[in-house]
Amino acid sequence: MKKNKQVIAGIEVGTTKVVVLIGEILINKIVNIIGIGQYPSKGIDKGNINNLQSLISCIKKAIYEAETMAEYRISSIYVSLSNQYIHCKNEIGIVPIANKEITDQDIKYAIYTAQSIKLKQDYKILHVIPKEYTIDQTYGIKNPVGLSGFRMQANVHLITYKNIFKKNLVKAIESCNMHVEKVIFSGIASSQAVLTFSEKQSGVCMVDIGGGSIDLIIYINGYIEYSYVLPYAGNTVTNDIAYVFNTSYKNAEIIKKKYGSTILSSLTASELIEIANLYGIQTKNMKKDILIQVIESRYTELFNMIHTVLMKIQNKLYNSGKPYKLGAGIVLTGGGAQASSLKLLAEKIFNIQVRIGIPIKIKTYSDKIIQPSYATVIGLVKYGAKIYNQKKKQFNKTNKLKKWFYYLHSWIKKII
């Protein structure tokens, strides 16, 4: 396999499937997807691993498929993490300005102070995300370097996780001869894939509906204000269908994708659909409107849960005098966002503009990959590419500085 490309790989180990994506970083910094591999998940449910060997087998198959398509053997990978034990905190770090002018060192120390908090047992910090800074009584500063003052405050968003779950996930991936570059909260990865800069600035809530959980991230003024994981998602809809129609989970998933909708239409209400029984031996005809009622009922419940969380956060921001409006509304993404008429149902419940988020600013061999269901794994690759480009920029900057000193030294030697 080829080794002369600059590639980034990402893996999403979800409740329903394991997806591996390989992207090549082009000259213009755009990522071109050159390989994808996916395999039904076994041994994991809602981020909890219950059969390590089964999961390792799924991961190996997804990696092999992606490598075969890309004609490239990967050795390192970015990993997404999401389960009900992901939590967030907004903290502040305060430091005196030693030289009356803020330096990078002051910023680092303020951020370090903000993250020096007591966590629950077995919890660790996954992400430390600086939001904005305050110098004395001046608020909302984005880059304080070089500014003068007596005291600086760093406002930081922390995302924490239960260490045992990350350990087990990393163990499963490293068992496939992979080096884990970085573990990233799935919600952050998805937002990298589907949100625009202007949406984050205007205020937006991204809702990633996966198979086992829903990731929720709220951006205000370009920064993450809140992040949350709801331990219910697309699989609860499938379970409801399986129960109501007395069929298997597998059949229920097929029915949901083929006939499912969240809003009843008079044109299809009396339409009959064929459903196999629990053992797949007999089939029976059922009205489509019953299926839609089941799906609509569960999605309505899920959206009401999200709406409650959203109202709580917005009220808290409003009462503290901070910006709270979502000018860009709600962006739904993930496999569960592909249900027919979901946008209409969401707008009805949230009473705000809603769009279905598909990955943007990405190049690929097939439009089939530019779907909400691949938002997280595409976001991982874009996240990795961003880190690579930053490191490359810093490396080039350092090299230019070294060359300048070399020429200066050579010139001095000549005139002495």
Higher-confidence residue of 92 and 279: namely: 92
Q: Specify the CATH number for the domain of residue 284.
A: 3.90.640.10
pTM given for the model: 0.89
Query: Looking at residue 247, what is its pLDDT?
Result: 85
Is 260 part of a structural domain of the chain?
Answer: yes
Is 409 part of a structural domain of the chain?
Answer: no
Q: Specify the CATH number for the domain of residue 128.
A: 3.30.1490.110
Both structure tokens of 321: 């005098």
Average pLDDT of the chain, as a whole number: 88
List pLDDT tens digits, range 141-189: 999 998 988 899 999 999 999 999 999 999 999 999 999 999 999 999 9
Is 361 part of a structural domain of the chain?
Answer: no
Find the mean pLDDT for residues 392-410.
60
Is 290 part of a structural domain of the chain?
Answer: yes
Is 80 part of a structural domain of the chain?
Answer: no
Amino acid at position 340, single letter: S
Final residue of a structural domain among 136, 162, 188:
162
Is 110 part of a structural domain of the chain?
Answer: yes
Max CA distance (Å), the chain: 97
Query: Looking at residue 411, what is its pLDDT?
Result: 53
Residue range of the domain that includes 92: 87-162
Is 98 part of a structural domain of the chain?
Answer: yes
Final residue of a structural domain among 138, 162, 186:
162
Query: Looking at residue 282, what is its pLDDT?
Result: 63
Q: Provide the terminal-to-terminal Cα distance of the chain, rounded to the nearest Å.
A: 54
d(CA 244, CA 239): 9
Q: Is the pLDDT of residue 278 over 70?
A: no
Is 179 part of a structural domain of the chain?
Answer: no
The number of folded domains in the chain is 2
Final residue of a structural domain among 108, 139, 162:
162
Please return the burial class of 322, using the count of CB atoms within 10 Å of its CB with bins 0-12, 13-18 and 19+: middle
